[in-house]
Chain A
Amino acid sequence: MKSVGIIVAVAVALALQTTLGRFVPAGTIAVDLVLVVVVYVALTSGPGIGLLTGTFAGLVQDALSSNVIGIGGLAKTIVGFLAGILGTQFIVAQSLPRFVVFFGATVAHAIVFMGLYMLLDLRHFGAPYAAVAGQAVGNAVVGVVAFQVVELLPGAVERRRSQRTRLRR
C-alpha cells in the first residue's frame, strides 16, 4: 500500500514538474519536485525505501529527459539512501534540520549528477553554483512546507470533528 502511495507521489511530482515547468523562465530558480519527494520518503521511511524511491524516480525522470538513463537514477539513489540514514540516525523533526537536509540533499544530488556528466565528458555545466544554491533553497522550502502540511492535516481534521461535535451538543 505504501509503495503505491510512493509511486503516486512520484507521478504527481513529475506531472506537476512538467506542467509548471513551462511557466518558469529558464535561468530562474527551478525546484526539483521529484527530488523533494525522494528526500521526503527517505526521511519518513528509512534508507531502504529511500534508495528504491530514488532509483525509481530517477530512472523515470532520466527516461523523460533526453538523458543518459541511470545518471539521475544513480544520483537520486545515493541521495535517497543518505537521507534515509540521516532520518534514522538523527532526529529530523524540526523545520531547521529538515531545511538543512533538503538543502544538503540537493547539493549532493547536483554534485553526483553534474560530476558524472563531466566525468563521462557528456556535458559541461560551467560554474553552476548560483543555480544549485537557488535550487537547493527552493527544494528545502518546498520540502519543509510539505512536511508541515502533512503533519497539520490530521490535526485540522480532528479539530473540525470536535468543533462539529460541540456544535451539535
Chain B
Amino acid sequence: MTLLHLRQRSGYLFLGVMLGHILLISAQVNSRSGVPVLEAVTFGIFSEIQRGVSTGVSGARGVWGGYVGLRNLKSENDALKRQLAAAEVAAQEQRAQVDRVRSLEQLLELRDRSNLQTAAAEIIGAAASPDFRTVTINKGTRDGLRPDMSVIAPAGVVGRIVVPSARAAKVQLLIDRNAAVGAIVERSRAQGVIVGSGDERLRMEYVSEVFDVVAGDLIVTSGIDGIYPKGFAIGRVETVEKSGSAYKRITVKPAVDFSALENVLVVLTPTAAREAAQGPSQ
C-alpha cells in the first residue's frame, strides 16, 4: 500500500485502528490475570535498548567530560594553573568515589541490618511515559527476581517489581498512582494504606478519625500486604486534615528522594504474609 493510498483511505484506516484498539483494551480489562505477554516481551527487548542507551550515555558523558577537560588544559599556558586544574579534577573524582563508596556502604549496612536476602541493583532507565512512575533496574529473573518483590534503599521503601525480564526488571515506584502499601504510624500504631499520587507526595488513606496522627510522625510498612517487609520507613506525615466523618486525609513526604536514586536493593526473601499464603507445602 502506497502512502497516497494510505492518505486517501485514512478515514477507514482510522476507524479500523480505533476498533482494534478498543478490542485490545477490552480483552485486557476483562482478563486480570498476570502480566500481558506483549508487555513482558516488549519490555524484555526494550530493557536491552535502555541498557545500551544508558551505557552509551555514560560513555558519551565520559568522552565529553574528557574532551572539555582536555580543551581547558590546552587553553591553560601556565603550568601551575594546569596542575591546579588537574588537582581539582582529581579531587572531584575522589569526592565522587567517596560518595559512591558511602552510598554502597549504606546499602551494605542496610543489607546487614535488615537480615533479609537481597540483591543490589542499579537503575538504568525511567518510565517510557511521564504518566507513570517506574524505573528499570539492571537485574532480572536470572538474578532471582520475581514479580511483587519489594525494592528498598537506605532511606526507605522504593517500590516493587512489576515486570521482570531475564536481565532487567521494571520497578513501580511508591509515588506511582497505581502503587499502594500497607502502612502504620510508628508512634500511635494507627494503620492505613499509603497510595501514590503521581507527584512527589504520598497519601495515607483509611486512617480512622479517632487515631492520633500529627505532622512529623514516621510512617513505616505494616507488612500485611504480603509484598513489603514490616518496619521499613515510607516517609513522614506532612499534613493531617479531616476527610468526611470517618477518616483523616494525610499527606506524606516520602523518605526516599526518587529523582536522585541510583542504587537499590531488591528483597529476595519472601515476607511472612506471603509465606503464610503459600502454605507449608511450598
Binding site for B on A (CB under 8 A): 2, 11, 14-15, 17-27, 30-32, 34, 45-49, 51-52, 55, 60-74, 77-78, 81, 84, 113, 116, 120, 122-126, 128, 131, 135
Residue of A nearest to B35 (CB): A66
Interface residues of B in 151-194 (CB under 8 A from A): 162-163, 170, 172, 175-178
Give bound CA distance, A81 to B173, whole Å: 33
> Which residues of chain A come closer than 8 Å to B200, judged between CB atoms?
25-27
Contact yes or no, B6 A63, CB < 8 A: no
Please list the 3 inter-chain residue pairs (A to B) with the smallest Cβ-Cβ separation, ordered nearest first: A21-B126, A30-B130, A27-B199
Enumerate 11 A-B pairs (CB-CB under 8 Å) in ascending A order.
A22-B126, A22-B259, A47-B14, A63-B43, A63-B46, A64-B39, A66-B176, A72-B129, A84-B10, A113-B131, A125-B198
What is the distance, in angstroms, from A70's C-beta to the closest C-beta of chain B? 4
A21 and B6 alpha carbons, distance in the complex (Å): 34
Structural contact, B21 and A70, CB atoms closer than 8 A = yes
**Contact B18–A74 (Cβ < 8 Å):** yes
CA distance A113 to B129 in the complex (A): 12
Q: Which of B8, B28, B43, B172 lies in contact with A64, CB distance below 8 A? A: B43
B134 within 8 A of A: yes
B43 near A18 with CB under 8 A, answer no
List the A residue with the shortest CB-CB distance to B173. Answer: A26
Which chain B residues lie closer than 8 Å to A25 at the CB level? 200, 258-259
A154 to B99, CA, bound (A): 46
Given contacts A68-B29, A81-B14, A113-B131, contact A74 B22 (CB under 8 A): yes
Q: A22 CA to B132 CA in the complex, in Å?
A: 12
Contact in complex: B125, A135 (CB < 8 Å) = no
Q: Is B263 an interface residue (CB 8 A)?
A: no
CA distance A64 to B169 in the complex (A): 11
Give every chain B residue within 8 A of A2 (Cβ-Cβ).
3
B130–A135 CB distance below 8 A: yes
Known A-B contacts: A19-B57, A23-B259, A27-B201. Give 10 more (CB < 8 A): A17-B126, A45-B3, A46-B7, A51-B13, A60-B46, A61-B128, A61-B129, A63-B42, A65-B131, A66-B178
Q: Chain A contacts of B89 at CB under 8 A?
A: none
Confirm or deny: B150 has a beta carbon within 8 angstroms of a beta carbon on chain A: no
Please report whether the interface of chain A is mostly helix, strand, loop or mixed according to DSSP.
Answer: helix
CB contact under 8 A between A71 and B25, given known A18-B128, A65-B134 = yes
Q: Is B50 an interface residue (CB 8 A)?
A: yes
Q: Which of chain A's residues have a CB closer than 8 A to the CB of B132?
A: 65-67
The yes or no answer to B9 lying at the interface (CB within 8 A) is yes
B177 touches A125 (CB 8 A): yes
Once bound together, how far apart are the Cα atoms of A126 and B175, in whole Å? 14
Across the interface, name the chain A residue whose C-beta is closest to B134: A66
* B206–chain A nearest beta-carbon distance, Å: 15
A64-B43, A125-B198 known; A52-B126 Cβ under 8 A: no
Given contacts A22-B135, A125-B177, contact A51 B17 (CB under 8 A): yes
Q: Contact: B53 with A122, CB < 8 Å?
A: no
B17 in contact with A49 (CB, 8 Å): no
> Given A47-B10, A63-B39 in contact, is the A18-B3 Cβ separation under 8 Å?
no
Inter-chain CA distance A166–B21, complex, in Å, is 57
Does A46 contact B10, Cβ atoms closer than 8 Å?
Answer: yes
Q: Which residues of A contact B57 (CB under 8 A)?
A: 19
Contacting pair A81 B10 (CB below 8 A): yes
Given contacts A48-B9, A48-B13, A120-B29, contact A66 B38 (CB under 8 A): no
Known contacts being A19-B126, A48-B10, A66-B132, is A26 close to B21, with CB within 8 Å? no
- A18: which B residues are within 8 A, CB to CB? 50, 53, 125-128, 136
Contacting residues, chain B, for A131 (C-beta < 8 A): 198-199
B49 interface contact, C-beta 8 A: yes
Chain B residues closer than 8 Å to A62, beta-carbon distance:
39, 129
Known: A65-B128, A66-B170, A124-B177. A26 touches B6 (CB 8 A): no
